[in-house]
Chain A
Amino acid sequence: MTRSPCPGAVFPCPCPCPPSSSSLLFLLLFLLLPALAVAQDAPAPPPPPPPVAAGAEEAGWVDVAARAFPAVVKVYGAGGFQGVPAYGTGVVVDERGFVLTAWSIALRTDALRVVTHDGRRLAATIWRADPGLGAALLRVTPPADARLAALPLGDSARLRAGDGVLALGNPFGVIYGDERPAALAGVVSRVGPLRRGGVDVVRLPERLEQVIVTDVPTNPGMQGGPLLARDGAFVGLVGRLVESRATNTIVNYAVPTAALAELVRAGLAAERAEPEPARPPAPPPPPARPDLGLRLLRVHLARSPMPYVEAVVAGSPAARAGLLADDLIVRVGGRTTRTCRDVDEALAGQPADATAVALVVKRGEVCLDLSLPLPPPQAPAGGGR
């Protein structure tokens, strides 16, 4: 049961035109195009029609999902407060490292990360943000040993109410690592403006004129994922829910890719004009203290266990402090320690120039105040611990 990442080898070309073998459906779509061409006042002949996936109703969504998976990433920012999820979804729109996602305040963090389809975690920065459109373009450095798969913007203008669509994303943050994003199917309910006046609509980006309304539930985490048409074209960027407080209704929407084209174009053009921002060199690792000789009873449970002392190394600072096996460490330097991890953190957090830290330990039924000497930190030597 290998969770193989989506087969890049099978679909080597992230081509906007997916395969087709159905000339009939091909034709059907073609027939719709003249009307569009007129509406757009385009004198040129209609663009080549996107072929429709082979026997779409039989093949279903499997191929559409499989083709798009490699370009879909999980996005992790800062959040988890006031209903703003820290996790979301994004789409690689250019293999040089551009990720389109839904705008969220959660993106504003130095710890912004994306996780690619094969489980690689990449640091990301906001390259271009357009909160008014509800979208942001992130920048990542592609991994040295693998190519990013990209899913370019498709043509959203041909979407009609009733068209089948598939959304990919990470609802409720249930997916991580190289797990495939969730695929949820539905139909386009409407393409057009959402009425803002007179009702108290929240969460709808202010400059968004046209939206794709769908019946695909956009739970937290789906935002920023692609909305795919039957032929696999990337036609919308899933947004967060829109709520009307007046009618107590919730609407799921996606931003049509037509509205995002300029953001992406400008972002990619800037890439050519501006040199890649240099990365600051990694700070040297902090000097580590020598072993204190304190061995805690690290029973391995889901939760870090209570900090009982299992053993004390003879002659070590812990021994000099008077610590004994079976002592329970309840305080380190004024911090209450409920778990082994608390003790580790409290000791690690002592200032470098501290020469001792006060401990409170429970031994049997009594509590004792001890002082644990802290030898000065030493620069890390190769291989030492």
Chain B
Amino acid sequence: MAQAPRRSGPRAAASWAHRGGSALGAGALAASAFAACVLAGGVVARAEDEPALARLRAAEAARVAMIARVAPAVAAVFQGKVAGEGGGSGVIVDPAGYVLTNFHVSGLARDLTVGLSDGEAYPARLLGIDPGGDIALLKLAPRPGGWPFVAFGDSDAARPGDPVLAMGNPFLLAEDFSPTVTQGVISGVHRYRDASGSSDLVYGDSLQIDASINPGNSGGPLFDAQGRLLGINGLGGFRPDRGRVNVGVGFAASSAQIENFLLDLRAGRQCQHGTMNATVRDVERGEGRGSELVVDAITRDARAFKAGLRLGDRVRRMDGVDVTTQNQLLTRVSRLPAGRRVRLEVDRPREDGAGLVRVALGFRLDPLWSGPPSGAWAPDAALVAAELAAVLAAHRARLAAPEAGRAGPGPEGPAWAEEAVWAAPGRASERRVRRFDRGRLRVESGPVDAPTVEVWDGKRGWRLAPNGTRAPLAPARRDELAGTAEALAALAEPGGEGRLTSLELTGGDRVGGRLVARLEARDKAGRRRLLYLDAETHALVGLAWPRDDGAWVEEAWVAAPGAGPGGLAVERLDHESGELLERAAEIRLEVGPQDPALFEESP
């Protein structure tokens, strides 16, 4: 939305300009048409109608074709192994058979039935739930050729007035599962609908629509004019005096929100939405002067408090975007899963009372607990294992492709070398070369002619000073190199997970600006690593490890236009706050086996 007004600027300007140019011509035409009308009555208007009618018919035909294209991916969803009573709607979002629906449709039913417009009912299993956001992810068994599916659209680009189509199975009208289509417009964007009454459902970042949403539409897709998924319809406005039918006020969880949760759902989790554990108030600046957003309560064990957020702080920006009202902050926070890192900029009253001082702080969101009590949900172990296997297979297939390493943003694969110049605030920059080959890791720091060399050869680690003295690696440093080497080797090599005690898909995150899958590795010495794979490309884009003081460091490869070869940079951040620890912008990457002698103790 930040771009919407900007986008409309040039277009609007062009429209005004055009008007000036066409007005004269139109006036002349209008005069002659007026004469024709007087002579021939209204009938003459029919000829003039044709181009407009043709456009209308073309738009209609395009809409009908679009509906035909997406309808096979729209599902009727029932709890249990037969298509019975109750139930709602859903939509397939991936050829592998992932079905999105509402949590209030799936409940905690392990087995569900998905009816498609081919008239067939297919068994599905419940993979992950997001009770707060009212979303559930179901999985169909793989089938040859894949399942019909629809692509995600950009709900953040939706504007009030945009045409939308809701599809689903209202009142379970369709015996053959062919979806019902209702048409409308976007009524509002970024609506926050609080949990109300007995409902836990928080529509944190939702689209308001006037397309008819009736009982049974729940869980069904909301499409834009191109047939891309904008959201999952779930909350209807119903009025007792009109019966439980549509009154033109419906809400759909936005696709932008759902995408943030998709990997947590695939990981089989009961997702929790994020909260700052603080409340903010719109405080009037004065009559007619608008309001500002003031922190008026915060719990002392909140991560936001630990990061430095305080009572009286005026929230100005979140993640680089201005926020001026409670609603903006609520929608932006609640559309993120718990544990997601955010960055706030606040203005704080100075101690001496002389104005405000700008403070930036970063922290990860606390969970806003909702849904069934802890323990009621347990993921289906076989399904989650299959998800991990699918992610690993996709990553390794990518490594096996001929362009591996060139397309990927970071060093990846069974062997590579990376040379970079690292800089940190208040420190001279330092050249470092990292070489990795099948579980062995060598780091050279300092000048080319007199580097300090640290090596982990898979069993032992040593350090070679520029003056030639050799010593075993300090335990903390040895664990750092060994843990990374083991995790990277396990990730890259087919069957490599056998090197580890455990490797799990634990959800999603945002690293280096990308949505990623988070894998948690624990090697046989108990060392833990987080490995981040791009959600789309499955490329390795980052990893994280614990320092000896317990704080975690996150290393992320980020796209940085103008940052040198490949437009890449590597950043090391504090995992909790996102504070930049050090950064390398000039990177040279080489993929391929390294000289074995480099990892040997006696060259």
What residues of chain A have their CB less than 8 Å away from a CB belonging to chain B?
A: 1-4, 6-7, 9-11, 19-21, 23-28, 30-32, 34-35, 49, 51, 54-55, 57-58, 60-66, 69, 118-123, 141-145, 166, 171-172, 174-186, 216-217, 219, 250, 298-302, 383
In the complex, what residues of A have CB within 8 A of residue B37's CB? 31, 34
Q: Is the CB of B239 within 8 A of A219?
A: yes
The contact sample of 18 A-B pairs, CB cut-off 8 A, is A6-B5, A19-B19, A20-B15, A30-B30, A31-B45, A34-B37, A34-B38, A66-B161, A120-B290, A174-B193, A174-B208, A177-B291, A184-B210, A184-B248, A186-B210, A217-B246, A219-B247, A298-B297
Q: Is B55 an interface residue (CB 8 A)?
A: yes
Cα(A250)–Cα(B248), bound, Å:
14
Give the interface segment out of B182-190, B455-463, B561-569, B577-585.
B182-190
Closest chain B residue, CB of each to CB of A56: B52
Contacts known (A19-B15, A58-B55); A119 close to B30, Cβ less than 8 A? no
Q: Is B332 an interface residue (CB 8 A)?
A: yes
Q: Is B425 an interface residue (CB 8 A)?
A: no
Contacts known (A31-B34, A61-B161, A119-B325); A4 close to B185, Cβ less than 8 A? no
Specify which of A51, A65, A172 is in contact with B249 (CB 8 Å cutoff): A172
Interface residues of B in 202-244 (CB under 8 A from A): 208, 210, 237, 239, 241-242
Q: Is the CB of A177 within 8 A of B325?
A: yes
In the complex, what residues of A have CB within 8 A of residue B260's CB? none
Q: Is the CB of B185 within 8 A of A10?
A: no
Q: Is the CB of B159 within 8 A of A62?
A: yes
Q: Is B307 an interface residue (CB 8 A)?
A: no
Cα(A122)–Cα(B287), bound, Å:
6
Q: Is the CB of A31 within 8 A of B187?
A: no
Give the interface segment out of B172-180, B277-285, B499-507.
B277-285
Q: Is the CB of A179 within 8 A of B16?
A: no
Cα(A181)–Cα(B187), bound, Å:
8
Closest chain B residue, CB of each to CB of A9: B9
Cα(A62)–Cα(B157), bound, Å:
12
Q: Is the CB of B288 within 8 A of A141?
A: yes
What residues of chain B have their CB less than 8 Å away from a CB belonging to chain A?
A: 1-2, 4-5, 8-9, 12-13, 15-16, 18-19, 22, 25-26, 29-30, 33-34, 37-38, 42, 44-45, 48-49, 51-52, 55-56, 59, 156, 159-163, 184-191, 193, 208, 210, 237, 239, 241-242, 246-249, 278-279, 282, 284, 287-291, 296-299, 321-328, 331-332, 353
In the complex, what residues of B have CB within 8 A of residue A19's CB? 12, 15-16, 18-19
In the complex, what residues of B have CB within 8 A of residue A2's CB? 1-2, 321-323, 328
In the complex, what residues of B have CB within 8 A of residue A58's CB? 55, 59
Q: Is the CB of A183 within 8 A of B188?
A: yes
Chain A nearest CB: distance from B4 CB in Å?
8
Chain B nearest CB: distance from A310 CB in Å?
12
In the complex, what residues of B have CB within 8 A of residue A299's CB? 299
Q: Is the CB of A143 within 8 A of B289?
A: yes
In the complex, what residues of A have CB within 8 A of residue B325's CB? 3, 119, 177-179
Q: Is the CB of B33 within 8 A of A31?
A: yes
Cα(A216)–Cα(B184), bound, Å:
11
- Identify which of B18, B184, B188, B287 gathers the most chain A CB atoms within 10 Å of its CB: B188
In the complex, what residues of B have CB within 8 A of residue A176's CB? 327
Cα(A123)–Cα(B287), bound, Å:
8
Specify which of A1, A27, A180, A302 is in contact with B328 (CB 8 Å cutoff): A1
Contacts known (A30-B34, A49-B30); A3 close to B190, Cβ less than 8 A? yes
Q: Is the CB of B160 within 8 A of A4?
A: no
Chain B nearest CB: distance from A22 CB in Å?
8
Q: Is the CB of B289 within 8 A of A145?
A: yes
Cα(A173)–Cα(B540), bound, Å:
46
Chain A nearest CB: distance from B244 CB in Å?
14
Q: Is the CB of A177 within 8 A of B48?
A: no
Q: Is the CB of A10 within 8 A of B190?
A: no
Q: Is the CB of A27 within 8 A of B248?
A: no
Specify which of B18, B42, B162, B248 is in contact with A31 (CB 8 Å cutoff): B42
Cα(A217)–Cα(B187), bound, Å:
12
In the complex, what residues of A have CB within 8 A of residue B159's CB? 62, 65-66
Q: Is the CB of A57 within 8 A of B56?
A: yes
Cα(A10)–Cα(B298), bound, Å:
40
Cα(A166)–Cα(B210), bound, Å:
11
Q: Is the CB of B34 within 8 A of A34?
A: yes
Cα(A26)–Cα(B94), bound, Å:
45
In the complex, what residues of A have CB within 8 A of residue B291's CB? 119, 121, 177
Cα(A142)–Cα(B289), bound, Å:
10
In the complex, what residues of A have CB within 8 A of residue B45's CB? 28, 31-32
Contacts known (A27-B29, A60-B185); A171 close to B249, Cβ less than 8 A? yes
Specify which of B48, B185, B189, B290 is in contact with A119 (CB 8 Å cutoff): B290
In the complex, what residues of A have CB within 8 A of residue B161's CB? 60-66, 166, 183, 185
Q: Is the CB of B237 within 8 A of A219?
A: yes
Q: Is the CB of B284 within 8 A of A4?
A: no
Chain B nearest CB: distance from A251 CB in Å?
12
Chain A nearest CB: distance from B71 CB in Å?
22
Specify which of A11, A57, A145, A219 is in contact with B59 (CB 8 Å cutoff): A57
Chain B nearest CB: distance from A149 CB in Å?
14
- Identify which of B30, B45, B239, B248 gathers the most chain A CB atoms within 10 Å of its CB: B248
Contacts known (A55-B55, A182-B187); A1 close to B278, Cβ less than 8 A? no
Cα(A118)–Cα(B291), bound, Å:
10
Cα(A221)–Cα(B59), bound, Å:
33
- Identify which of A27, A65, A219, A250 gathers the most chain B CB atoms within 10 Å of its CB: A27
Q: Is the CB of A120 within 8 A of B55?
A: no
Q: Is the CB of B15 within 8 A of A11?
A: no
Cα(A41)–Cα(B542), bound, Å:
77
Cα(A49)–Cα(B29), bound, Å:
13
Chain A nearest CB: distance from B342 CB in Å?
13
In the complex, what residues of A have CB within 8 A of residue B282's CB? 119, 177
Q: Is the CB of B18 within 8 A of A1?
A: no
Q: Is the CB of B15 within 8 A of A54?
A: yes
Q: Is the CB of A171 within 8 A of B51?
A: no
